[in-house]
Structure 1
Amino acid sequence: MCRAKSRSPNVVAVNSNGSDRYGRDVLSGPRRSSRPATPEVVAERDLVVEDAASGFCGAVVGFERSYDGEFVRLEDRRGLTRIFALRPAAFLIDGAPVTLTKPVPRAPAAPTRTASGSRTVAGQRARVARASRLFVEGVHDASLMERIWGDDLRVEGVVVASLDGLDNLDEALAEFEPGPTRRAGILVDHLVAGSKESRLTERVGEHVLVCGHPYIDVWEAVKPAAVGIKAWPRIPRGTDWKTGVCVELGWGTPRDGWRRVNNAVSSFRDVEVPLIRAVEELLDFVTAAE
C-alpha cells in the first residue's frame, strides 16, 4: 500500500498558478469580514422601518417578549400590526439594513415639588428638631400631616405630637411649657363658633396658636372625589361619626375606612383648602420662633 508522506506544517501546497490549493492557513487567525458592520438604531416609538424578509413596513408601537427572544411590534398605515424578532440586520431604513435595539428605560425625573406643593430642596438632610412643636388631635391627623407635609416638617425640624383627644390639651401644654422660642401650634378639627372645640381652645395662653378647619373629623377634610364618593354622608348627632360613615358607605369598620382615606391622599390636592390654610399658618408660626 502506498502511503502519502506526512506534510510538514510549514509547507503550503500551491496550484500551478501559484494559488493556495488547500485554502488559507487555519493557524493564521480569524478572517476579518470586509463587509461594513450593520448600524444599530434605537427603536423609538413611531420610528418607521421595513422588515427585510417580508417587506412589511410600519411604525414601532411596542415590544413583546417570549420564550424565544425579544420582538418588536410594527403597525402599518392601515392599522395592521405584526411582530418581528429583533435580529441583526433584520430591518431596513430608507433601504439600508439596520439592527434595531430596544430603548433603555429612562430613570424617572426627580420631583421638583413636595406633596405639599413646596419646592424640593435637593440633598437636604432632616434638620435637628426645633424646640417648637405642632400638636394634632389624633393619629389620623398626624398621619395625614406626614403624607402631605412630611418633607417640609423634616426640612424645618418640626415635630408633630398627637394629643389623643383635644380634652388633653391643657395637660399637654402644661407639660410642654410654651415660651418665646418654644411655641406650640394646635391643629383642631371642627373649629367653629359654639362648638366644644372652640370652648376648649379659648384660653391657651401666650406663645400658642390655634388653627382649625370646619370639618367634623379630619377624614371629612379629604375631598370626596379622592376617596371615590360624591359627598361625605350626614351622620345624626349621638352616633360616632366615623362608625356612621363606614356604615353608610359600606366600608366595614373605622379601621377599614381609615385605610381607604389614608391611601387616597398623596398630595395637598386631595384635601380641602381650610385644612391646607390651617397647617401652613401653624408651620409659619412655629418656625418663626427661632
Structure 2
Amino acid sequence: MADRYGDDVLSGDWRAAGRRRAREVEAQTGMVLEDVETGWVGAAIAIEKSGGMHVVHLEDRRGKVKAFRLGPGFLVDGEPVTLTPPKAAGRAALAQARQASSRTASGSVAVQGAAARVAVGSRIFVEGRHDAELVEKVWGHDLRVEGVVVEMLDGVDDLAGAIRDFAPTPDRRMGVLVDHLVPGSKESRIVAEAARVDPSNVLVVGHPFVDVWQSVRPERLGMEQWPQVPRSVEWKRGICAHLGWPHEDQADIARAWQRILAQVSSYTDLEPALLGRVEELIDFVTAP
C-alpha cells in the first residue's frame, strides 16, 4: 500500500534545503572574493602558506589588505565556493610572479637575503619621531641595504647648529627633511640661513604639509581631504577631533598617529610631494 504522505520530512539534512552547495575553486591572484563572515570584498593579491595554513590576501577598493584562511566561506560572483590551495603548476607560477614583482614598500626591487649593511657616515635627519617612523616603514629596507641611518632633530629651530655639530664632509653627507617648507614660512627662513653653513655637503628639502600626518593620503582614513584646522587649535588635536578620536593628552596623540601609520603599507599610501623629497635625500646621501 502506497504511503500517501511520502517520506519523513524531518529525515535527512533538512537544514540544507534550498541552500546552494559550494564548489571547490583553486585560489588564484586577481580573482574577486567576498568573505561571507565579515563581508570583506577584495581582489586576491597573494596566496601563501603562513603558520602552517594557506591564506589569501584580499585588497579592497580603498587599498586596504586583509588575510583570510583558505577553505569554505567565500563567494565568487555571488556563488558560494571553497578555496583550495594552488596546484603544483599554480604554486610555481605564483612563486615566479612573487619573484618578478618582489618590491619593497618604497616600490624598489627588494634585495633578497641581504643582511643590513654596516652604517655609513652619511645620515638623513627628520624633525621628529613620527617622521622617522614613517620613513622607516616605507624606506626601511632600502636604507638598511645602503647602510644609511635616520636620526631625529627634535625640530629645526637650530638647523644651522645641527649642521655644524654633524660636521659634514664629501664622504659624510647630511640630508634633512623639513615639514611645511613653503615660501614665507618660518621654516623657509631657517633653511635659508642653514644653507649658508655648508652648501655642498648638505641637502635640505621639505614638503608642503603642516605635519607629516598630512602626507598620508586622506582617503586611507575615510576622508576626501585633510580638514582645515583653525590657527587657534593645535593642529594634531584638531585633526583628532575631526576624526572623532580622543585628543586630551599626548598619549591620545601618540595612539592617533599609530592608527594613521597602520593605514600605510607602501608608497602608494603617501602623497607624491613627500615621496619625491625622500627619494631625493636617499640619492644624495648614497651617491658615490
Under a length normalisation based on structure 2, what TM-score does the superposition of the two structures give?
Answer: 0.64
Could you say which residue in structure 1 is the equivalent of 2:240? 246
Greater radius of gyration (CA): 1
Distance (whole Å) between structure 1 residues aligned to residue 81 and residue 276 of structure 2 = 55
1:195 and 2:185 are equivalent in the alignment: yes
Q: 1:232 aligns with which of 226, 234, 243?
A: 226
Distance (whole Å) between structure 2 residues aligned to residue 280 and residue 58 of structure 1 = 48
1:159 and 2:165 are equivalent in the alignment: no
Distance (whole Å) between structure 2 residues aligned to residue 121 and residue 243 of structure 1 = 40
Distance (whole Å) between structure 2 residues aligned to residue 227 and residue 287 of structure 1 = 34
Could you say which residue in structure 2 is the equivalent of 1:276? 275
Distance (whole Å) between structure 1 residues aligned to residue 157 and residue 115 of structure 2 = 35
Q: CA RMSD in A?
A: 2.9
Could you say which residue in structure 2 is the equivalent of 1:139? 129
Q: Give the match's secondary structure for 2:110.
A: coil
Deviation (angstroms), 1:58: 8.8
Q: Contact 1:220–1:232 (CA<8 Å) still a contact in 2?
A: yes
Distance (whole Å) between structure 2 residues aligned to residue 166 and residue 82 of structure 1 = 57
Identify if the C-alpha distance between structure 1 residues 230 and 210 changes in structure 2 by more than 3 Å, giving closer, same or farther: same
For 1:224, give the aligned amino acid. Answer: P
Higher helix share: 2
Deviations 1:214-252 (A, max 9, x none): 110000011001122221110111321101111121121
Percentage identity across paired residues of the two chains: 51
Deviation (angstroms), 1:170: 2.8
Unaligned runs of 5+ in 2: 1-20, 27-70, 73-77, 248-252
Map 1:62-81; keep pairs closer than 5 Å: none
Could you say which residue in structure 2 is the equivalent of 1:183? 173
Deviation (angstroms), 1:104: 7.6
Could you say which residue in structure 1 is the equivalent of 2:257? 258
Deviation (angstroms), 1:126: 1.2
Could you say which residue in structure 1 is the equivalent of 2:24? 60
Identify if the C-alpha distance between structure 1 residues 241 and 127 changes in structure 2 by more than 3 Å, giving closer, same or farther: same
Q: Contact 2:23–2:81 (CA<8 Å) still a contact in 1?
A: no
Distance (whole Å) between structure 1 residues aligned to residue 206 and residue 79 of structure 2 = 59
Distance (whole Å) between structure 2 residues aligned to residue 82 and residue 236 of structure 1 = 52
Could you say which residue in structure 2 is the equivalent of 1:20? none
For 2:239, give the aligned amino acid. Answer: V
1:209 and 2:203 are equivalent in the alignment: yes
For 1:187, give the aligned amino acid. Answer: L
Unaligned runs of 5+ in 1: 1-56, 63-71, 74-78, 84-101
Distance (whole Å) between structure 2 residues aligned to residue 192 and residue 277 of structure 1 = 16
Map 1:67-146; keep pairs closer than 5 Å: 103=85, 109=98, 112-146=102-136
123-132 or 216-225, which moves further after superposition? Answer: 123-132
Deviations 1:167-199 (A, max 9, x none): 242332222111111111010111000001111
Distance (whole Å) between structure 2 residues aligned to residue 255 and residue 167 of structure 1 = 23
Distance (whole Å) between structure 2 residues aligned to residue 147 and residue 238 of structure 1 = 32
Map 1:15-34; keep pairs closer than 5 Å: none
Distance (whole Å) between structure 2 residues aligned to residue 130 and residue 115 of structure 1 = 22
Distance (whole Å) between structure 2 residues aligned to residue 80 and residue 164 of structure 1 = 55
1:171 and 2:158 are equivalent in the alignment: no
Deviation (angstroms), 1:103: 4.9
For 1:180, give the aligned amino acid. Answer: P
Distance (whole Å) between structure 1 residues aligned to residue 79 and residue 274 of structure 2 = 52
Q: Contact 1:222–1:270 (CA<8 Å) still a contact in 2?
A: yes
Distance (whole Å) between structure 2 residues aligned to residue 140 and residue 120 of structure 1 = 24
Under a length normalisation based on structure 1, what TM-score does the superposition of the two structures give?
Answer: 0.63
Q: Give the match's secondary structure for 1:264.
A: coil
Could you say which residue in structure 2 is the equivalent of 1:285? 284
Deviations 1:6-44 (A, max 9, x none): xxxxxxxxxxxxxxxxxxxxxxxxxxxxxxxxxxxxxxx
Distance (whole Å) between structure 1 residues aligned to residue 258 and residue 229 of structure 2 = 20
Could you say which residue in structure 2 is the equivalent of 1:44? none
Could you say which residue in structure 2 is the equivalent of 1:26? none
For 1:275, give the aligned amino acid. Answer: L
Q: Contact 1:227–1:260 (CA<8 Å) still a contact in 2?
A: no
Q: Give the match's secondary structure for 2:219.
A: helix
Q: Give the match's secondary structure for 1:211.
A: strand
Deviations 1:95-118 (A, max 9, x none): xxxxxxx75896974561100000
